[in-house]
Each structure stands twice: as structure tokens, then as C-alpha cells.
Structure 1
């Protein structure tokens, strides 16, 4: 009977884990180990693009890729991990309970925006998961059928972090496409920070300020949304903003499956892992992507919940899960170079390097790079066995 590496999740971390594990098995001519991916769909949801229009297209099918490299896909939703028995319980496509045994497991079940217990929060949209992003897109497209009013023409974005800024910067163009070029639109960012773009630090702040001014974005700083309803929000200071569209972008948390793994977790619910992405004290369990908190270098920097880190984390986790099963040397996870490329809508973008986010490019130059990242770099490799396995080498830098 074959030994099994089971990967939970088909996002960036899960997909690259499957490819990298298969790569190492292939390198050692091992046909006695199978790689299984358990996920609701055999597709990569390109989540970093969910703030863009045409979001229903931001899906990359994985069936042909998995078939090409010999990865087995199991359609289902993981419900329970029994680390003592080395068994995962799940619901299959028909909703029936089933189990999968494993010899090594890679947890790559991702993260979600967790909405707070605010009055009316169910009226808010988000760009976190595909179904919600599609719901927002349909809503924005339908606004033109409503009577002209300040509420119809206003969008409130709760949160001024990376996702909030990208979403807000894209909204003027999306609203005008729905309402007409002459519509009197407003896009308001509500953020707890004391200055615009505070969450991203001083480096890109001037670009964010410039883009906000040019795009007409308004900011409510030192502020929080206290309640939501069908026609707007009430802020913590009592101000009411009438808006038919409220988008929630704060409060991301790792998959609750992390709570079933004995180990230390951070404030986001991520499991702390060692340099090989193994959960300390659990020789059969690896974590990757948004469920892993890993050291990226020797300077105290830790991985972020981003596809930039998830790609490299996936390549390392799958490789090292296979290495531990084969008894060969693992590859230490390191991701020394960190960059950000923040989309600022029609203004352009800002590209920074380093953890202190030193600006390297702005406007059209940075926008061109952002479009290349979003449309090419983060997509799966072609369904060609040799090329796909070569791309899964954990020593390939995500950012050169």
C-alpha cells in the first residue's frame, strides 16, 4: 500500500505544496508515495485580484495540471484532523462523511475575513472569497437601475490596509462604469489609523495620498464603523454616512482547522512552524500559506498572509513533507526579499522593496509591473509535467 502525503487546500500554498512534494518524489524515483489534495474545488481562486472587475474570471482550473503531474484530487471539505490516528474527516461532494488517512499532512486551508459582531454587518460586502466578490460585482453593476441619490453613488470601504486601499482605488472606475461618467460619486475609506496609509508605513504613504487626492477618495481617520444598515454606516463618533455599498476589508483570520493541531498559534490563529515548516512536536504535520507563521530570514521578519509568501511557503512545505517521509535532507524555508506592489486604480501603482517599504517605482511603471504580477506571475504553471515540477523547486525565489 502506498504511503500518502495529504494536502488540505488548493490555494497558493496547497497547489505549490502538491507540486513540490511531487517534484521531490520524482527526483528520487519514488512511486510508492501518493500526493492527494483535498479541497472543495480543483481550482485556484486568484484572491489577490478580487478587488478588480470581472472577478468571476479570477479562477484557474487545476484538474489538467494535477493530472499532468500525477496529483490525486479529492473533492470535499475537511472537518476534523485527528493527529493521533493520522486521519482527516471530511464531507464529500454529496455531503457524505468520509475519511482519509495520511502519513504526512500539509495544512494549507487558508484564511478568511472574520466579520465582527456589529449591528447590520450582514449588509456589508467583501472581496475576500470568490462568492462574496461576485456578489459585490453584481451589486455594483445593478446600481444604475436605482434612482440617482447620494446613497446610491457612495461606497464606504471599512479598513485602510492593503486590501482596503486597492479596493477603494478601483471603485471610482467601477462606479462610473455602472452609473455613467458624469455621476457624482463618493468613495470613503474608514480607517482607525491616524494618517492615510498608516498600515503600510511611511514609504508608500505619499503615493497613497497623491492617488487618493487624484481619484477623489475621502478618508475618515481615527475612526471605526460602529453599525451597518441597508443604506449606510454609523461611525463610532456618531457620524452617519449614507451609502448603498459598504465593503468590509478588515479582520482576517487563519482557518479554524489550525485549532485542531496541537501547537502554538499567533493572534491571527496561524500555527508557528520551524524552519522546515513543520509544526513543533508534530513530526507528521506541516503548515503553509496563511495558516503558517514562519521566519522569513534571520532578522526577525515573519511571513505575511499574502500570495507572495504563500507561493514560497508552499514550495517548501510540500518538499519538506516529502523529504521527511523519504528520510532525505529538507530545504530550509527562507524568503529574504520582500516587496509590495500596491494597485492604486487609474492613478497607477506603487512598488516598494524591503520590510521598510522603500519606494522603487510609482504610477505607470509600477502599474505595468502590477498587471504582470496579477495576470502572469501568480497563476499556476502550464499543465506540462516537466515544466510544472521544475517551477516547484523551493530554491526558486518568488521575487528575484
Structure 2
């Protein structure tokens, strides 16, 4: 069992060691720049997103959508999830002034998945662009998403490059700089994955496009609808493209506690998708399957692998024949929990970037573990509270 424990710990390290090394070694292909053919009629696009108490973000977000330079037909559909602030008032004002902006108020708190399903049924676009209320699109963002799709007719989902704004002086006191490091790595990895396998391993929920024919109703209570839709496309043998030039920005909280709660919710959604798709992995192309294992599955299950290795080390008379090994195992486990506690209590006092990054990774894995426990508790309605943001 000692060997099994070591295998568990080795697998837990793959997403943070071997997989990044492979991505760096492969690198992006040097592509010849292609020009998309000018279509006689550009596809209609429907931007859809849910909003709950987003009065601080809605007007600016809608202004950015109205400023898109996409030359085709563009409409916006917003679903207010029983907002109690001025969100509905803002949506009413914009829809009265701009015929392309439409909105509905849900009859009860419904969650993002149900709202997106409803908005898709109301909209008319050939392509659906999913986003969030706190995302700001670059002027050519939608055009670049559709350009990438035109360059790859096999692609039914296209992800864009999401970056964080709000990186002021206070960032070092919270978690924004670590999040920036993480999202930059994700953007790089997805580009390499797309170049090498034809599929980026998932898209950002704040910036993606999907062909209407590829959209499938999102199951009730789903938190990570972006991965559900993109992975469903992969299982059907379709490409999930990724555009370096389709750019949007997201404001970020410097407060670690709400951000941690958001990560727990995301982890819960990841486990929902593992439960749905684990029996269908044989349908993936081999290259896509390997990327899924290295980029997603082993990272999501890393806390369980580490815990499993520790528990194997405590089996008397089997896993470890020498008392010193048991002692070492206990020390390693307790040290890990101590570092997690330190991440909550002392990290704001840290001035060492490397140590802050370690704290951040530990918190990410703690969130994955708590998300797993929430998943085991059963289904949920998928409603959420917006994370406090910098609004910079």
C-alpha cells in the first residue's frame, strides 16, 4: 500500500508539475495567419447572461455591448433572477432606449442554468454568446469570436481570453495578483491545447460563443454551465476553439473570503460535471482525453488523492511497516492543514509573492475538497450571491 500511496501523491502533483511542463514543451504552433472569407450574410448573435443584484455593473456592461463593432445583427438578452436592487430599473431604461436589449424577470429565484435555458429559448441568434454581468468586452470581442469559428468550421464552441482588471495597489493585500497568475496560465494552456488537439479544455463562463445547434438545455442546479456545454461538444466529436484576440476583462475581488466561497461553488459545479460525464470519457479523442486528465480531472481530485495517500499510510501493519513512516505521514498531513490555516490567518501580512502563491494554491485545493462535500450533500437549485468586486 505504500506504493499506492506514493502513486496517489504523484498523481496529485501532475496538474502542477508534469502537465505544465508538457504544455511549455509543446508550446503554441507557429501558424500562418489566415483570412476568413467574407460571408454574404453574417450570423445573428444573441448575448445572454443572468443578473442578480448587479446594479453596480449593468450599465457599464451594457454600454460595452452596445459599442461592439460586430457588423451583423446583434441582440442582448438578460435574465434578472428576482433582483432586489436597481437592476430591473436599469434594464428597463436600457431596453426602452435600445431595441436590441431585451430582458425578463424570473418568476422566482432560479439560478444561472435555468435563466440561460430560458433566454436561449427567447433569443433568435445563430450563435449564442454567454457572459456575466461584470464582464467588459473589448470593442471587437464578438467579431473575433465569430472569426475564430469561421476559421474552424468543426468548432461549435469558441472561448475567448478573459483577463482581470482592478489590479491596483491593494491587490497585494488580497488574492488578485495570484488570480491574475492563474488566469494567465489558463489562457496559455487553452491556446496550446487548441493548437495541438483541436479542443481547448473548457471555456470561461464569462466569455464564450456556442452555435445554437450545439446548445443543449443545462440540467437544473448546474453551477458550471460553461464546462457542461463545452465538454458535451467534445463528447460529440466537435472542436472547442479558443481565440487569443477575443478579449474581455473581469473585475476581481481583493477579499479572500467571498472569493474562496466562489471557488467552493465552482468546485461543486466541477464535481457535478464529473458525475455526469465520467461514464462517457471513452467517447473522447485520445489526445483530448489525456488533456482532460492532466488539466482538469487530476486537479479536481487532488485533495482526495492526497487524503487517500495519508489514510493508506495509517493502515496498521500494511501500508507502512516502520513507525517513522507513520510519523512522517502524520507530520506531512498536519503541516498541510497548518499551511491552509496560515493562508486564512496570516497571508494578508505576507509580503513574499512566492509564499502568497503557495497559500493561494492551498486554498484552491481546500475549496475543491469542500466543493466535493457539497456535491455529496445532493442537488441544489443553483442560485447564487454575487461576489463583491472592485468595480475598477
What is the TM-score when the length of structure 2 is the normalising length? 0.26
Task: Give the structure, 1 or 2, with the largest relative contact order (CA under 8 Å, sep 6 or more).
Answer: 2
Larger % of helix: which?
A: 2
What is the TM-score when the length of structure 1 is the normalising length? 0.25
Larger % of strand: which?
A: 1
